[in-house]
Structure 1
Amino acid sequence: MTDANSQHDGEIQAIDALLRDSYGVSGKVTALPGEHDLNYCVEAEDGTRFLLKLHAPGDADDLAMQIAVLDHLSQAAPQLPISRALADRNGATAIAAALRGNRTARLLTWLAGNVWSKSSARGTQSVVTLGRLLGEMDRSLESFSHPGAKRAYAWDIGRADMHLENLDFITDGEKRKTVGAILQRFAGEILPRLQQCPRQVIHNDANDYNVLLDETGAVSGLLDFGDMVETWRVIEIAVAGAYALIGTEDPVDTIGRLAGAYHAVNPISEIEAELIFDLTCTRYAVSMCMAAKQIGENPENTYLLVSQEDVWRELQRLQSENRSLAIARIRDACGFDPIPHGTRIERWLERNAHDFAGIFKPSIGKPKVLALDITTTGQDAEAWASLDAAGAQRLIAERVAQAEADFAIGLYGEDRNIYKSDAYRTSTAGQRRSIHLGIDLFGQAQEPVHAPFAGTVAFIHNDAVAFGFGPTVLLEHRTDDDVFWTLYGHLSRESVAKLSVGRAIAKGEAFCALGEASENGNWSPHLHFQIVTDHLGLGAQMHGVGVRDQWQVWRGISPDPSVVFGFSTPASVVVARDKDFLVRERHRRIGRSLSIAYSATPLKIVGGEGAYLIDEEGTRWLDMVNNVCHVGHCHPRVVKAAQAQIGKLNTNSRYLHDSLVEYSRRLAGLFPDPLNVCFFVNSGSEANDLAIRLARAYTGHRDIITVDHAYHGHLSSLIDVSPYKFAGKGGEGRPRHVRVAEMPDLYRGRFRYGDADAGSKYAEDVRNQVAALTVEGRRPALFFSEGILGTGGQLTIPDNYLRQAYAHVRAAGGLCLADEVQVGFGRVGSHMWAHELQGVVPDIVTMGKPIGNGHPMAAVVTTEAIAASFANGMEYFNTFGGNPVSAEIGLAVLDVIRDERLMHHCKVVGDRLMDGVRALAARHEIIGDVRGHGLFNGVELVRDRETLEPAAAELDFVIAEMKRSHRILLSSEGPHHNVLKVKPPAPFSAEDCDRFLNALDETLSRLPVR
C-alpha cells in the first residue's frame, strides 16, 4: 500500500470517528472537490446523505458569517433549498477538528441535484427558478447583518473601480481596452446610480458550480455562502446572470428572465433594472482583472488561462449587443415600460393629434390598405417563397399598381419576412428582425413630404443604398418633458442632400421628397414613416423592422404611428406572440386569479369550428367541456346574424326595435304560463343577481336557500349563495342570510340509487333550512337550484326532489329559481330545460352561456306578478342587455337549435356516450358512476367501489393524457375533483363520441399503478 493510500485511509478513519463521536452518524464517506475547504459526502446506513465541511484556518468573521446566515435562513426562509446546519451532541453547529491541520467541522443537510454546468436539463426553467430562489433569499436577508459581510472584498463588483489599477496585468491590448472601458463606465456612470439603490447582504456567487438542478431543470439547491458580502442588492442578479447566460443563444433574454423572476418575488426599482446589463459586463471585467493579476503572480496556473477564454467569449457576446436595446429588454422583463418616457410620448401624440399637419398634400386621396406580408398567407405564398429579392420587389410593385388609389399603406406590425440578410438581426446571436415598425405610404416619386409637427434635423443618412432602405432622415421633436424622433425613409437623394443637421423644420414644411425606385433598392416609390422614442444610438440608420419575439420592446421603441395620420382605415395589425409571452402578459396585465386551462402546457386557440377548437399551428382539438358555444364554435348562421345587425345598428334597449320584441316572444314561448316576462342582461351572473332582486322585491324577505357545493356566479351577491366559493379556498364562509341545503347525491350521499324516496328525503333538508329560518323569525326569499348539479359533480337530481323542495319553500312564502345557465337550451336532450326533468314550473328561470353561443348575453324569465313587484319606482335599465345585435344572435341560436334538431341530437349522442362509458366500466373498475342527461354528463372515478375513495390524481392523469395523446379537451368537477366533466358543444357527433370512448379506454388502460 502506498503512502498516499495510507494517508487517505487514515483520513477516512478520522472522519468516521468524528461523525460517530460528535454526531452519532456513520456511513460511507466520499471526498468532494474544494479549493480551500475539505468537503465530503456522507451517506448514512439508512441512505440519508449529509455534507461534511472541514473549513481551513482563516478569517473567523467569514466562517462565523456563513454559520450565522444559515441559521438566519433556517428561521426566515425554511422553504428554500439551502443546506441546514446540524448540531452535534452538545448542540454546537461548528466544532473543532484536526485533519491536515486544525480545522472547523460543520455537518450540513445534503442537497440533491447536478451542478448547473454539468446538467443536461438546464434551460429556461432553470433561469426562472434561480431568479425566484435568489429573490426569495434576498428578501429574507434584508434584516440580516454580520461583521463578516462588511469586508472590502475584491469580488464585490460594487467596488469594481478598484480594479482599474490592475488593468496593466491584462497583456492583450484588445482585452485591456474593452475591460478598461467597462470599468471606466462603471466608475463614471454606473456607480453614481448604484448608490441610489438598496444595500444588503447577498450570496454574491450563484455560479454554475454553486447551483444545483433537478432532472426537470428546476433549481434544487444553492451552495457555498463563502463569497457573501454587504453590497448593493442588484449585484446578486448581475452575478447570477453572468453565469446563467453562458452558452445560451440569447444572453440578454437569459438575463431578462432571471431578473424578471427575481423581481416577481422581490421587486426591484427601475434604476436597478437599468443597471443589470452593465453590472453583468462589469462582473466579467472584474473576473478578467482578477485572473490577470493571479496569472501575473503565478504564470504556471494554466487553469485560469483556460477559464478566462470562456469569460472573454461571453463578454464579447454581450459587447456585441446594442446596449440601449438590452436595457430596454431587461426593463420589460421586469414589468417596466421598455423605454421610460415612451408612454408619455404616445399620450402627447394623442393629445395633440388634432393639430398635426398632413405628411402628404390632401389631393393624394384616401388610403387603401396594402398588406405586404404575402409570404405566409395567400394563394401565391409558395411562389413568393421561391422569388429572389428583385423578384419580390417586382411583385410588391405589381401589388401597388393594382391598388385603385394614389397611394397604399404598408401596415405597422406586419411581418416583413422577405428580409433574409443577416444584417436584419439584433446581434450576431440575436433573432431576425422582420416586424414592420412604421407605416409605408406609396405614392409618386418626388412627391413632397411635409413635417407633421415642428422639429429639427437630427440625423441624415445619404450614403450608398443599404438593405433597400435608401436615404433616411430623423427629425427631433421636443415636448415639455421629453425628446423623440420621427423617421422618414426611402427618400429622394437629391432632396436629402439639401438638408443639414440642426436645421429647424416648421410644422407642415415640405422638407424632402419621395425617392425613385432606382435609389431605394427598386422598391416602388413610397415613404416609410416611423415614430422613434429611442434611436438606440443608430441615428439615421435606425432599424425599420423589429423582432417578433421582442415585439413589446420594439413597440415601445417605435409605437404605432397611426396617430399621426388619423386614417379611416386600419394601418396596423396585432402581432401574434408565442404562448410564453401571452402567459407572462396575462399575469402582468390581467388579474392572476383568472386561471388558464392546462396551465402547465397552455393552448393558444385562434379558431373554432363545430365541436373543435383550432390552435395557432392548425391542430384541431375536440372540445368536450365548452358548453358556452352551444350550437358549435363559430356557427355560420350565428356569425352571419351578428355581422348583419352590427352593420346596421347596435344601441341600447330604450329605443323600439323589432328584434328585441320578437326575441322576447320566442324565448318566453319556450316556457309554460305564467313564465312570460323577460329581462335581458349580459351574463349568467347578472341574471342570477337580478333574480335575487326580483325575489326580494316580491316576497319582502332577504334570505336565500342554496344547495351545497353550488356555484351561481362571480358577483358578490352570487358568491354569497355559492358554497363552492364561500366555503372554499379564499372564501369567507357562509353569510348569515344564506342557508345551505344538503346536496342530493345519489352516488355517495346519505340516500343512494335504488331508494325510491331519495328525492323526498333529500328535500327534507330544504324544509329543515326553512324551519331554521322560522326559528330566527325570518323567511326565505328564494331557493336556488340547477336542474343538474354542475359543480356538485354533474349530479342528476333524484325524482321528486325539486317538486318537494319547491313545496317547502313556497309554503314559507318563498320563490323558487331554476338556474339553467349551464344546462338549458335542449342540452339535456329530452327537454329544452333541465328543470323539466323534475316536472316543476319555477317562479324564475335564469339563462346564460348557451343563449348567445359565446356572445355576452343572458336572460331572466319570470311571471307578470313578480315583474310587476319590481316596478316599484326605481327604474331598472341594462345598457347592453337586449341590444339589437344580441337579440339577432339570440334568434339565430334558437333557429339553429330548431332547424338542426339539436335537442334530439343531444339525446341520441348523449345516450350513446353514457352507454359506451358504462360498457367501459365493466373493464375499468376505476369508473364508479356514469350519470347525466343528453350531453351534460359526469363520470366519477374511484379507487374502490366499496369505499368510494375518490381517484382525483388518476383523473388528473386521464385529463392530461386525453389532451396530450388524443387532442381531446376535458375537465374535472365535484367536491373531490374526481368527476370527469362532459359538456361539449351540441354538434358533438356520434363519430366524436366514439373517438372519445376509444381514447378513454386506451388512457384508462395506461393508468399508473398506485
Structure 2
Amino acid sequence: MSGASGRQDEMAAIGSLLAERYGIAGTITPLPGEHDLNYRVEAADGTRYLLKLHAPGDADELAMQVAVLDHLAKAAPDLPVSRALPDRSGAQSAPAEIRGPRTARLLTWLPGDVWSRSSVRGPASVETLGRLLGQLDRSLEGFAHAGARRLYAWDIGRAGMHLENLRFIEDAEKQAAVRAILERFTAEVLSRLEACPRQVIHNDANDYNVLLDASGRVSGLLDFGDMVETFRVVEIAVAGAYALIGTPDPVETIARLAAAYHAANPISEAEAGLVFDLVRTRYAVSMCMAARQIRDNPENTYLLVSQEDVWRELQRLQAENPALAVARIRDACGFAPVPQAARIERWLERNAHDFSPVIRPQTARPKVLALDLTASGPDAAAWASLDADGAERLIEARVAEAGADFAIGLYGEDRAVYKGDAFDMPGARRTVHLGVDLFAPAGEPVHAPFAGKVAFIHDDAVACGFGPTVLLEHRTDTGDVFWTLYGHLSRRGVQKLSIGQKVARGEAFAAFGAAEENGNWSPHLHFQVVTDHLGLEGRMHGVGVRDHWQVWRAVSPDPSVVFGFDMPASVTVARDKDFLVRERHRRIGRSLSIAYSAEPLKIVGGEGTYLIDDEGNRWLDMVNNVCHVGHCHPRVVKAAQAQMGKLNTNSRYLHDTLVEYSRRLAALFPDPLNVCFFVNSGSEANDLAIRLARAYTGNRDIVTVDHAYHGHLSSLIDVSPYKFAGRGGEGRPAHVRVAEMPDLYRGRFRYGDADAGRNYAEDVRRQVEALAAEGRRPALFFSEGILGTGGQLTLPENYLKEAYAHVRAAGGLCLADEVQVGFGRVGSHMWAHEIQGVVPDIVTLGKPIGNGHPMAAVVTTEAVAAAFANGMEYFNTFGGNPVSAEIGLAVLDVIRDERLMHHCKVTGDRLMAGARALATRHEIIGDVRGHGLFNGIELVRDRATLEPAAEELDFVIVEMKRKHRILLSSEGPHHNVLKVKPPAPFGAAECDRFLAALDETLAALPRR
C-alpha cells in the first residue's frame, strides 16, 4: 500500500470514528506529536476540535489526563485549557484501531497560534504564560492521581538518572557540558530541591503546547500527557527553557516568567534560587533523552525539532554568570537580589563612625570635588582620549579651581566613555559605575578603612591594562562576609601582598598606580564595596548594567558610607518606565494611581504650561492646577532657593515672612475673615476646618454635597461621597448628611430655571431638618465654589447664599473649599465662592497656594479662631515655615504682577467660546461650562437622553495625548466630563492648539 493510499485510509478511519462516536463530520488535519497522534477537526459549522489518539501504554497515565481535566473543570473553569467532550455513550475515551490499537479522546479546540510559529511573541507572552502556569498549579494543589506518581524520565526532579545516558551523546563538547550540569544537579541542586514543595504539574509548557492570540498573549495550554508529581518549581524551569528560545536576554525571560508565576502562585526564596539551575538541567535532560531516543528511533524527526535550539540556548546560558542570573530572578520575584546585602549595609552604617580614611588628606575634613566623567559631561572628550598627561592636567586644574583636596568620580554615574568589549555582558553593556574613584597623585598610600584580610589579587595587564586589583575580605558581627575592592593600584606595592594576609584598620597596604600602568588614566583609586563577588573574585566588575541596576546596587552598594564626604558621592540611576511602574507597585503601593497607566509618562522637567519627558518631548499640561503660576516659575524657584540657604525652621520662632504672608493672604478676603492657620496640604486644611467648626459650634455633624471630594484623611473620606460611596468605600457615616448635587445640565433643575439655586438649596435645608429631627445640629457645611469631582459644575445663582442661610439658621458654619479653584483661576474673582456673593465662615486653600510646594492654609474669623484656643495647643511642624512663607509670597507676587487673574478670564472665555463653537459641529458635546480656566466639557451620546459618552471620552483623552501631546483627564459621576484646569499662564496659542486638536479628535471618534 502506497504512502498516499495509507494516509487516505487513515483519514477515512478517523472520519468514521468521529461520525460513529461523536456524530461529527469535517476536515481533519494532522498535528505534531511525540507519542500520540493529534488531529485538528473542523466541522461543517466551523467548530473546531482536537482529536487525540493515545498510543498504547500506561492506563494510569491516560486516566490521569482524563481526571485532571475533570478536576480543572470544577476547580478552575476559566483557565484556557481544553475541555473533554464525551462521546454519544457519555464516555470520555474510546478504543480505536489507527496505526495499531489506540485510545481516542475528543477535546475542545483552543484558539491561537502555536508559540513556536507566532510572530507576535514577546514580553507579554512570557508574562501571561507565567501567570497561567501559576494559576494552573494553584488549582492543582489538591489534585492527586496514581498516574502522576510514575518514575518519568522527563521529570527533571530526577535528572540524576540521566548520567547513564551521557554515552549516547556523541559530540564531546556537548557531552562535557551536559555532564557538568548533571553532576552539579546531583551534588548541589537536588538537596536544596528536596526542601521545596511537591505537587502535580503540567511539566511540558513547550513552544508547541502553548498558544498565543493576535496580541501575543497566551490563549491556551495543550497536552497534559507529561504531567507528573514533582517539585513545583520545575514547572517554571520547563516553561522558561522554551520561552527563552531566541530572546535577546534569556535571563530576563526566565525572570519575567518566574515573576508572573510568583504573582499568581507565590514561590519561596529557595525556589527562586533554583530556577536558573533547573532550566539548564532541563536542557541537559532534553539532550540525553534525544540522544537515546534518536538512537532507538532514528526516523522520528519530531525528536530533532528542538535539539538545535536546545544546544544553542544552553551555550547562551552557560555564558551567563550564574550568581548574577539567580540574583536577577530573585529580584524579579520581589526577593532581595543578594540576601545578605541589606545586613551588610546596615553594619557599615552602624560602624561608620569608627572607619579610618582610605586616603589621608592634609586637612581633617577634606574638601572634595566631584568630577563629571559621563559621556555628556563637559570633559567627556578628555576622558575618552585617555591621554595620561592631558587628563591629569585637567583634573589638577579642576581641583585647583575648586580649592579641593582631591577629586572623585561618582557611584552610579554612567561611564559611557568606556569603550571596548571588556565592558560587555551577554545581551547588555555595562556602563554604570559601581564604585567611587578618588583622584590623587601616583604613589598616594591606600589605607584599609577597617580590618580584614587579603582575599583576592588580580593583575592582568595584558588583558585589561588597568593595573592590579585587590579585594580585602571582612566579616560583620552577624557573620556576613563582604569585600572592599581597590583598583588601579601600583604594581610594586601589590607585589608585597599575599592571599590571607591580615590588614589592620588604617594600615597602608597599597598605593595609587601611575598612569602608564593603568591604561593611561590619570592616577586614581577605584573603591568598591562588594556583597557578592559573583564567583569573579579578583576579576570583579567595576561597572554594571543600567537595566539591571537594582541587582548591581545590591551586589555593590553605595560606598559613600565608608568615606563620609560632606557632599554626595553617588547619583540616582535613571531607569525605564517599566521598571519604575514595577517598583512603584512593589515599594509604594498599587493604590497610588499612575496617569495614563497604559502608556505612562516619565516626566523629568517642567516649564510654564508644559511638562517635559525623559526623551525631551514637551507635553501641554491642561490638568495641573497645582503649578498655578506655571511649572518651575523662576521667581518662585528663586524665592525657595534663597530662603533655604538662610533658614528653614518651625513657626514657633518669630519670622518676618510668616507675618507678612499672613497679612497679604488675609487681605485677599473680606472681613471678618482675617485669621490664618498654615498647614501642608488641602486635606490637612479641611481636617483642621472640621475641628474649628466643632470647637465653635459644639456640634459634630457635617453636611456635604453629593459626589464631592475634600481630601484623603479619614475625617475627609467621611465627608467625601466621591470616596465613601464609591469602590472600596464603607458608605455614609452617621454624622454626615449628603445634599443633592446642584447640576444644571442633568439634574432636577436645569439651565434657564431662575429658581434652580433656591430649589437645590432646599435639599440642604432638608438635611438640616433631618438632623434636627434627631436632636442634632450641623457643625459645618462643605462646598466648593465650582464642583470639581462633580464634573466641573458651576453653581446655580444664589445656591450658596440660600444654603448658607439654612445652615447658619441651625447654628452651623459654612466652608468654602478653594483648594482647587482659588487664587484667581476663575478669572472674575480671586475666589470661586465670590461668584455666589457669599462670605464663608471658613475658607480652605491648597494646591495652587505654593505652586507645587506642599503648603496650605485655613482662613477664618477671629471668633472661630478664639473658640479653638481652648487650652489644647495647636501646632503644625511644617505649616508656616519660612521657606513656605517665602514661596507663598512669591506666588501672590506673580499672580499680581503677571495679571494672571485677568489672564484666566480672557483665556477661559476664549476656550469656552471655542468649545461651544465645536458643539455646533460635534453632537457629542452636550455642555460647556466653567469660569476662567476651570472648565468642563461634557460628552453625551444623545443630547435628548443625556446618555454619558464615557468610552468616547476615554478615546479623546488617549488620542489627545498620543497624537497631539496634550494632557487631559476626566471627571464627573459618569466619567464623561473633560476637565480643563491648566496652569494659569495657559494662553491664546495653547488654547487654539487645544481646540484644533479636540476638533480633529472628535471628528475621528469611532462610530458606535
Return the TM-score normalized by structure 1.
Answer: 0.97
- Determine helix, strand or coil for the equivalent of 2:308: helix
- Determine helix, strand or coil for the equivalent of 2:529: strand
In structure 1, the partner of 2:111 is 112
* Aligned residue type for 1:308: Q
Relative to structure 1, the CA distance from residue 805 to residue 45 in structure 2 (aligned partners, 3 Å threshold; closer, same or farther) is farther
- Determine helix, strand or coil for the equivalent of 2:371: coil
Query: 2 CA distance for matches of 1:215 and 1:794?
Result: 40
* Aligned residue type for 2:13: E
Q: Unaligned 5+ residue runs, structure 2?
A: none
* Aligned residue type for 1:821: V
Which digits, 9 at most, give the CA deviation of each residue in 1:524-572, with x for residues without a partner? Answer: 1111111111111111121111111111111111111110111001111
* Aligned residue type for 2:547: D
- Determine helix, strand or coil for the equivalent of 1:363: coil
- Determine helix, strand or coil for the equivalent of 2:460: coil
In structure 2, the partner of 1:586 is 584
- Determine helix, strand or coil for the equivalent of 2:414: coil
* Aligned residue type for 2:844: T
In structure 2, the partner of 1:445 is 442
* Aligned residue type for 2:224: F
CA deviation after TM superposition for structure 1 residue 300, in Å: 4.5
In structure 1, the partner of 2:373 is 373
In structure 1, the partner of 2:70 is 71
> Would you say the 8 A contact 1:369–1:571 is kept in 2?
no
Residue number among 510, 520, 523 corresponding to 1:522 in the alignment: 520
Which digits, 9 at most, give the CA deviation of each residue in 1:170-200, with x for residues without a partner? Answer: 1111111111111111111100001111111
Relative to structure 1, the CA distance from residue 293 to residue 645 in structure 2 (aligned partners, 3 Å threshold; closer, same or farther) is same
> Would you say the 8 A contact 1:465–1:520 is kept in 2?
no
In structure 2, the partner of 1:496 is 494
Q: Mapping of 1:708-719 within 5 angstroms?
A: 708-719=706-717
Relative to structure 1, the CA distance from residue 18 to residue 944 in structure 2 (aligned partners, 3 Å threshold; closer, same or farther) is farther
Residue number among 11, 14, 17 corresponding to 2:19 in the alignment: 17
In structure 2, the partner of 1:458 is 455
Query: 2 CA distance for matches of 1:231 and 1:596?
Result: 41
Query: 1 CA distance for matches of 2:694 and 2:814?
Result: 12
**In the comparison of the two structures, how many residue pairs are matched?**
1001
In structure 1, the partner of 2:184 is 185
Query: 2 CA distance for matches of 1:104 and 1:771?
Result: 78
Query: 2 CA distance for matches of 1:678 and 1:773?
Result: 30
> Would you say the 8 A contact 1:369–1:411 is kept in 2?
no
> Would you say the 8 A contact 2:466–2:517 is kept in 1?
no
Q: Unaligned 5+ residue runs, structure 1?
A: none
CA deviation after TM superposition for structure 1 residue 391, in Å: 4.7
Which digits, 9 at most, give the CA deviation of each residue in 1:67-112, with x for residues without a partner? Answer: 2222222222233222223445565444555655554443433221
CA deviation after TM superposition for structure 1 residue 4, in Å: 4.1
In structure 2, the partner of 1:471 is 468
CA deviation after TM superposition for structure 1 residue 933, in Å: 0.8
> Would you say the 8 A contact 2:84–2:92 is kept in 1?
yes
> Would you say the 8 A contact 1:211–1:221 is kept in 2?
yes
In structure 2, the partner of 1:3 is 5
Query: 2 CA distance for matches of 1:511 and 1:627?
Result: 60
Which digits, 9 at most, give the CA deviation of each residue in 1:714-746, with x for residues without a partner? Answer: 111111111111111111111111111111111
In structure 2, the partner of 1:597 is 595
In structure 2, the partner of 1:773 is 771
* Aligned residue type for 1:602: P
Relative to structure 1, the CA distance from residue 927 to residue 393 in structure 2 (aligned partners, 3 Å threshold; closer, same or farther) is farther
Percent of residue pairs bearing the same amino acid type: 78
CA deviation after TM superposition for structure 1 residue 271, in Å: 0.8
Query: 2 CA distance for matches of 1:90 and 1:780?
Result: 74
CA deviation after TM superposition for structure 1 residue 640, in Å: 0.5
Which digits, 9 at most, give the CA deviation of each residue in 1:29-71, with x for residues without a partner? Answer: 5443334434343445554433333434432222222222222
Query: 1 CA distance for matches of 2:611 and 2:31?
Result: 54
Query: 1 CA distance for matches of 2:582 and 2:388?
Result: 36
Residue number among 879, 882, 899 corresponding to 1:881 in the alignment: 879
Q: Mapping of 1:379-398 within 5 angstroms?
A: 389-391=385-387, 394-395=390-391, 397-398=393-394
Query: 2 CA distance for matches of 1:306 and 1:75?
Result: 35
Q: Mapping of 1:98-137 within 5 angstroms?
A: 103-137=102-136
In structure 2, the partner of 1:432 is 429
- In terms of mean alpha carbon deviation, does 580-589 or 401-410 score higher? 401-410
In structure 1, the partner of 2:202 is 203
Which digits, 9 at most, give the CA deviation of each residue in 1:455-478, with x for residues without a partner? Answer: 111111233254342111111111
- Determine helix, strand or coil for the equivalent of 1:893: helix
Query: 1 CA distance for matches of 2:606 and 2:730?
Result: 38
* Aligned residue type for 1:458: A
Relative to structure 1, the CA distance from residue 355 to residue 891 in structure 2 (aligned partners, 3 Å threshold; closer, same or farther) is same
> Would you say the 8 A contact 1:400–1:442 is kept in 2?
no
Does 1:627 find its partner at 2:625?
yes
Relative to structure 1, the CA distance from residue 392 to residue 880 in structure 2 (aligned partners, 3 Å threshold; closer, same or farther) is farther
CA deviation after TM superposition for structure 1 residue 299, in Å: 3.9
Query: 1 CA distance for matches of 2:299 and 2:826?
Result: 83
- Determine helix, strand or coil for the equivalent of 1:370: strand
* Aligned residue type for 1:719: I
- In terms of mean alpha carbon deviation, does 31-40 or 139-148 score higher? 31-40
Which digits, 9 at most, give the CA deviation of each residue in 1:871-894, with x for residues without a partner? Answer: 111111110011111111111111
In structure 2, the partner of 1:147 is 146
Relative to structure 1, the CA distance from residue 44 to residue 1001 in structure 2 (aligned partners, 3 Å threshold; closer, same or farther) is farther
Relative to structure 1, the CA distance from residue 796 to residue 922 in structure 2 (aligned partners, 3 Å threshold; closer, same or farther) is same
CA deviation after TM superposition for structure 1 residue 510, in Å: 0.6
CA deviation after TM superposition for structure 1 residue 328, in Å: 1.0
In structure 2, the partner of 1:265 is 264
Residue number among 659, 678, 681 corresponding to 1:680 in the alignment: 678
In structure 1, the partner of 2:908 is 910
> Would you say the 8 A contact 1:462–1:497 is kept in 2?
no
Residue number among 947, 950, 957 corresponding to 2:948 in the alignment: 950
In structure 2, the partner of 1:872 is 870
> Would you say the 8 A contact 1:370–1:408 is kept in 2?
yes
Query: 2 CA distance for matches of 1:19 and 1:920?
Result: 65
* Aligned residue type for 1:403: V
> Would you say the 8 A contact 1:62–1:149 is kept in 2?
yes
> Would you say the 8 A contact 2:35–2:54 is kept in 1?
yes
Relative to structure 1, the CA distance from residue 794 to residue 89 in structure 2 (aligned partners, 3 Å threshold; closer, same or farther) is farther
CA deviation after TM superposition for structure 1 residue 240, in Å: 0.7
CA deviation after TM superposition for structure 1 residue 814, in Å: 1.1
In structure 2, the partner of 1:742 is 740
Query: 2 CA distance for matches of 1:939 and 1:107?
Result: 56
> Would you say the 8 A contact 2:446–2:508 is kept in 1?
yes
In structure 1, the partner of 2:421 is 422
Residue number among 791, 794, 817 corresponding to 1:793 in the alignment: 791
In structure 2, the partner of 1:761 is 759
Which digits, 9 at most, give the CA deviation of each residue in 1:272-299, with x for residues without a partner? Answer: 1111110000000000111111122234
- Determine helix, strand or coil for the equivalent of 1:460: strand
Residue number among 378, 396, 399 corresponding to 2:395 in the alignment: 399
* Aligned residue type for 1:612: Y
**What is the aligned-residue RMSD (CA, Å)?**
1.9
> Would you say the 8 A contact 1:939–1:980 is kept in 2?
yes
> Would you say the 8 A contact 1:367–1:409 is kept in 2?
no
Query: 2 CA distance for matches of 1:26 and 1:694?
Result: 80
> Would you say the 8 A contact 1:465–1:471 is kept in 2?
no
In structure 1, the partner of 2:334 is 335
Return the TM-score normalized by structure 2.
Answer: 0.97
Which digits, 9 at most, give the CA deviation of each residue in 1:336-362, with x for residues without a partner? Answer: 111110111000000000111111124
- Determine helix, strand or coil for the equivalent of 2:141: coil
> Would you say the 8 A contact 1:829–1:906 is kept in 2?
yes
Q: Mapping of 1:405-416 within 5 angstroms?
A: 405-416=404-415
In structure 2, the partner of 1:810 is 808
Which digits, 9 at most, give the CA deviation of each residue in 1:321-341, with x for residues without a partner? Answer: 111111111111111111110
Query: 1 CA distance for matches of 2:294 and 2:187?
Result: 28
Q: Mapping of 1:32-47 within 5 angstroms?
A: 32-44=31-43, 46-47=45-46
CA deviation after TM superposition for structure 1 residue 261, in Å: 1.3
CA deviation after TM superposition for structure 1 residue 242, in Å: 0.5
> Would you say the 8 A contact 2:846–2:856 is kept in 1?
yes
> Would you say the 8 A contact 2:21–2:88 is kept in 1?
no
